[in-house]
Amino acid sequence: MTETSAAETEKRLERKSRLRTCVGLAILAVSLGWSVVHVSILAFGPDSDTALLAGKKVIRFAHWQLEGRCVEALNQACRDYEQEKLKKDGIEVVVRQIEIPERAYEQWTRTQLIGRTAPDLIELRWWQDLVVRYFVPLTEYVEQPNPWNAYFAEDANFAELPWRETYVDNMLGGWNWELRDYYGMPMSLFTVRVYANRTLMEEAAGVTEPPKTLGEFMAICERIKAYAAERRKKDSQYRLVPIAGSDYTAHVFRGRYWGMSTWGMIAKYDESCDGWFDDSERIEALYSGKLNLTTEPNIRAGLRALYDISRHFNPGFMAAKRDQSVLLFAQSKAAMVATGTWDAGSLWRQVAGDFEIMVFDFPIAAPGEKYHQFLRHRLTEAGARAGFSMGLTRFSQNKELAIDFMRFLTSRYYCEKLNRAFRWFPAIRGAEPDPILKAFRPQSDGIYGGFELFINPGDTRLRHDQKYFGYMSEPEPTAQAYKQFLVDLSAGRDAFFDSHKESRDRILANRAYRILKGKAPTRQAYSYKQFIADWREAHYDAFIRDYARDYYNLALDDYHRNYQSSYQRVVQAGAPIASGRAKVMRHGLEPKLRRGLASVILGQTTRQIDRVRFRDVYERASKLKEAGGPAGQGARP
Amino acid sequence: MDRIRGKGRMPASMPACMTALVAALLAGPCAAAPEAPRSTKGAKAATGPAQLLAAGWKQLDLVNYPASQATFKKVLGSSSATRAQLAEATFGLGHLWQYRRPGASISEATELYQQVAEEYKDTPSAALALMALACLADTPEYEKDRRPDEARRLYREILRDKPESFVVHEAALRLAMTYLEERGSRKTEDEGVRMLTEHLAAHPNNFLATAMHTQLAVLFQSREEFRKALKHYIASDTVDLRAAQSELTDAERKLPLKRRLNQISQRRVMDTGSRAALYYRIASLAERKLKHYAVAVTWYEKIVYEIVRDNKFYVSKLSAERCRKLAAEAGKVVPPHPLAGKERRP
């Protein structure tokens, strides 16, 4: 009985297993069948490329700009080009746009390039390895006039300019510094600004004009906070923050104010007189004791100002993403948001008359205001380079046509039209942007950032990001916590230290003690306002001490890694140099080839000699570190 | 279809619809493209060795390694090819083996370069083959494989045996750099300095003079010999400027200064970004290390009026004003830049 039952069970299991296999095979067969039909229709059906494009030239371009109206504007541009090209030169051409989401872009382009199935034009990123191998240098094209400028009846002076000179940045956005050649054809310029909800600003803070100084900006934020608190008393669901925060907007603010505050460090530490406080100088200054992260006033001012500003972001902002902060602003739950031109199109469309947007540059501190000594110059945008840059792939079958298409898009007339549709800033001289972008016009008067708090890439970067996140995002103590602090402190400093091990608490207690010495720890003697001010200082001190110690321990290794990997950049220049030599051998030392070869050799040899400096600095710094380093660097306990 | 077969990804006997399907699946959204990126266009039409060589280089430029290899081999098999053409084809194959990705073979490349250097000594390709061999020894893919002594020997061979070739200047520069890179002993550095100085004295306007002056300037700056450093930084710009000016056409020479500067700028070896960095360094060295405020004004103002679109624009403007005052205090009047007053904004 038991044997029969076991055999039956086995048979049943076998049947089930077979059934599962059959179902699996059936699904596979259906999927395969569907794929065959689908691809066959695409490839050979009446609407297939094969049928539609017979006898026509085809240009394909890929990009990841899926914001706002980009895709539809570019589709229109394709149709316009097809018509104009037929009218102008009698050539039937079809332009196809391939939109790739940003997340998949890297993998997609690499696969297509390696598989040699890439489209004619690809939006470029920072790809040295791919650019040198798969993209066409464009120098000979950029030195010729753009024929579409004459076609669109621009004035003769402009139409005769070389293509390069029609760009506001002389096409430097397409210049590859490593390979010393033009590889990109950019279309737009990008800047970042603060967007404000004018309606809300007037209602909550009583202002209709942008703040002129950092002090005014902070005061407006305070008024908005107070207004929101008032409204919440009547409506507990009401939500309004002065600035829409996210990890992204925090970095936007950081980019501006950190740059402003560290500019002054160049004058102090730039030994090589090149206008930068570069990695080598940083390492040298750090291990010789000249630079002390914990006491450097420019660093303190920058980080403290950023922390003060971030107090006006929504709680938990570091966990939010860019889209969320933009949405918060669009929904009138934040009065301001900091982002770039790239969001202008979407934002204006989203708010669509719900409120008026005003845009302003990041305000600086006026004389007499906090941080004036460090945040008194704006950051310059004189060196802003055009972006949305397309590269021409080497195996494009229609190179001239692809270049012609890009010339069409970057003719003054069409670049204006296209960028107005994008609501981006056109990269071509004289092309007028959409009026809403007036405030985005690049500002030339200003300084530039002098110092970064980590060596990129490396462990210092990783450590910085971890600690900076904590520093910026930790909520401040409530009134309740303040009361508890006073209670704990009244038990005596030693007792307090026994129960509070964190260095920030200790720093805070020491500060409080200095004030409270000889007095009873009461609110009158040590107010909540004073407590918060001290807490912020202690919070900063604890962060920077901790980070300085890590930085001191990690920076030299990061520097060494960069020094070692810099050899690859020297080697990378070998291929274009060899190609340049071969061309000169074949065609003689004619000017363009001579310049090209000389330029890339200059770049490579400069990098070689830079390595010598890296090595010397590394050796000197290693000895200093081994010897225990100078005191006060945070390295010693 | 031809495109796929040409790639060798699947047998030609595969049914057409299956080939199309697999091709589409493999290639993604671009698969339906009717173009044929593996075209051997050019090579098919080319019959003579000269045309084949041109086609081979073109295919190499288009990253079409198999086609290029086949074309160079055709030249080698051609009975009408001259020694120079045979040398060039062999060199082309060496170049191909060195830079093809994937599938590079440095040993194949080395063998072919050596063949050119030894069997075709009398051809222009021989100098290039020697330079390629020297660079393989000097800057191989991995630093641990560097053979500086071998590189020096080959650079010297080029300098001695190929004085008529354009690579002689590169050999001089790279040979000197092998000494400058050692740094350590003053004697070694001086050897590099001597080589560059002698070469520059013999060929002051050679096409790599800018790079040579730059190397000397960097070395002197590291030795804190700021006057010499300044001299060579300025020379690196002057020599580049002179070469660019010499290329202007008569019509371009008559253009207004602003337009003429643009024309010159296009013909410079140094791009505007590098020039802004160089001008700032010259000005800053003059101001901070040598207190030559008049010199500093001149070079800061070059950034303001000639470079314009650079992040150093505003800072240079302020620095030029400051140095102009300091120069005036020292009794020196610095003439304004020819473009001063004609507002140029980034």
User: DSSP assignment of A507-526, as one string?
Assistant: HHHHHHHHHHTTS---TTTS
| Mean per-residue pLDDT over chain B, rounded | 87
**pLDDT on residue A468:** 93
> What is the DSSP code (8-state) at residue A366?
P
List helix spans (H) across A425-517. 459-473, 479-490, 493-499, 503-516
Q: How far is B88 from chain A (nearest CA, A)?
A: 9
Q: Does A599 touch chain B (CB under 8 A)?
A: yes
Summarize pLDDT for A462-509 with one digit per residue, the tens.
999 999 989 998 889 999 999 999 889 888 888 889 989 888 999 999
What phi, psi does A381 have (nearest 5°)? -125, 20
Cα dihedral sign for A200, A204, A206, A211?
negative
- Name the helix (H) or strand (E) containing B312: none
- Is residue B336 a part of any domain in this protein? no
Contact A242, A335 (CB under 8 A): yes
| Dist. CA A187–CA A66, nearest whole Å | 15
- Is residue B40 a part of any domain in this protein? no
**pLDDT on residue A73:** 95
Q: Does B332 touch chain A (CB under 8 A)?
A: no
ipTM of this model?
0.88
In the numeric block, which tokens belong to residue A316?
């938990």
- Is residue B229 a part of any domain in this protein? no
Counting one residue from A and one from B, how many pairs have CB atoms under 8 Å apart?
222
User: Is residue A368 classed as helix, strand or coil in its secondary structure?
Assistant: coil
pLDDT band at B9 (very low <50, low <70, confident <90, very high): very low
Low-confidence ranges of chain A (pLDDT < 50): 1, 635-637
**Chain B interface test: which of A170, A577, A593 (most B C-beta within 10 Å):** A170
Q: How far is CA A369 from the centre of its chain?
A: 30
- Is residue B20 a part of any domain in this protein? yes
| Dist. CA A200–CA A304, nearest whole Å | 28
pLDDT band at B26 (very low <50, low <70, confident <90, very high): very low
Closest residue on chain A to B167 (Cα): A581
| Dist. CA A586–CA A295, nearest whole Å | 60
Count of structural domains within chain B: 1
pLDDT band at B151 (very low <50, low <70, confident <90, very high): very high
Q: Does B251 touch chain A (CB under 8 A)?
A: no
Q: Least CB-CB distance to A601: which of B140, B208, B218?
A: B208
Contact A375, A260 (CB under 8 A): yes
- Is residue B43 a part of any domain in this protein? no
In the numeric block, which tokens belong to residue B341?
């007053």
**pLDDT on residue A307:** 96
CB A611 to CB B39 under 8 A?
no
User: Is residue A2 classed as helix, strand or coil in its secondary structure?
Assistant: helix
**pLDDT on residue A189:** 93
| Dist. CA A11–CA A315, nearest whole Å | 62
The residues, any chain, with a CB within 8 Å of residue A141's CB and separated by 6 or more, are A163, A182, A403
| Dist. CA B312–CA B249, nearest whole Å | 32
**Mean pLDDT over residues B230-257, rounded?**
95
Q: Least CB-CB distance to A117: which of B30, B268, B271?
A: B30
**Chain A interface test: which of B266, B306, B307 (most A C-beta within 10 Å):** B266
Contact A320, A247 (CB under 8 A): yes
Number of neighbours of residue A331 by Cβ within 10 angstroms: 13
CB B273 to CB A446 under 8 A?
no
Q: How far is B27 from chain A (nearest CA, A)?
A: 6
A residues 569-598 closer than 8 Å to B (CB): 570-571, 574-575, 577-579, 581-582, 584-586, 589, 591, 594-595, 597-598
In the numeric block, which tokens belong to residue B228?
């010499």
The structure tokens 């004004």 sit at B297
- Is residue B6 a part of any domain in this protein? yes
**pLDDT on residue A567:** 94
Residues of B in Cβ contact (< 8 Å) with A561: none
First to last CA, chain A: 79
pLDDT of residue B43 exceeding 80, the answer is no
Q: Does B291 touch chain A (CB under 8 A)?
A: no
The residues, any chain, with a CB within 8 Å of residue A25's CB and separated by 6 or more, are none
Residues of B in Cβ contact (< 8 Å) with A35: 21, 25
The structure tokens 């029609």 sit at A166
User: Is residue B59 classed as helix, strand or coil in its secondary structure?
Assistant: helix
pLDDT of residue B160 exceeding 70, the answer is yes
Number of neighbours of residue A430 by Cβ within 10 angstroms: 14
The residue segments making up the domain with residue B10 are 1-29
Using alpha carbons, list the distances in angstroms from residue B308 to A109, B276, B302: 35, 9, 8
| Dist. CA A97–CA A86, nearest whole Å | 19
Cβ-based burial of B249 (10 A; exposed 0-12, middle 13-18, buried ≥19): exposed
Closest residue on chain B to A398 (Cα): B35
**Mean pLDDT over residues B289-293, rounded?**
97
- Name the helix (H) or strand (E) containing B144: none
Cα dihedral sign for B38, B42, B46, B52?
negative
**pLDDT on residue B34:** 35
| Dist. CA A608–CA A612, nearest whole Å | 7
Q: Least CB-CB distance to A444: which of B221, B268, B313?
A: B313
| Dist. CA A422–CA A434, nearest whole Å | 9
CB A60 to CB B33 under 8 A?
yes
pLDDT over 90, % of chain B: 74
- Angle at the Cα of A181 (from A178 to A184), degrees rounded to 5? 100
pLDDT of residue B31 exceeding 60, the answer is no
Strand order in the sheet with A192-197: A241-243, A334-340, A192-197, A357-360
> Burial letters for A218-255: b for 16+ Cβ neighbours within 10 Å, e otherwise?
bebbebbbebbeebeeeeeeeebbbbbbbbbbbebbbe
CB A382 to CB B346 under 8 A?
yes
> Burial letters for A562-579: b for 16+ Cβ neighbours within 10 Å, e otherwise?
bbeeebebbbbbbbbbbb
pLDDT of residue B40 exceeding 70, the answer is no
- Is residue B299 a part of any domain in this protein? no
Q: How far is B328 from chain A (nearest CA, A)?
A: 23
Q: What pTM does this model have?
A: 0.86
B residues 142-161 closer than 8 Å to A (CB): 143
User: Is residue A32 classed as helix, strand or coil in its secondary structure?
Assistant: helix
- Is residue B65 a part of any domain in this protein? no
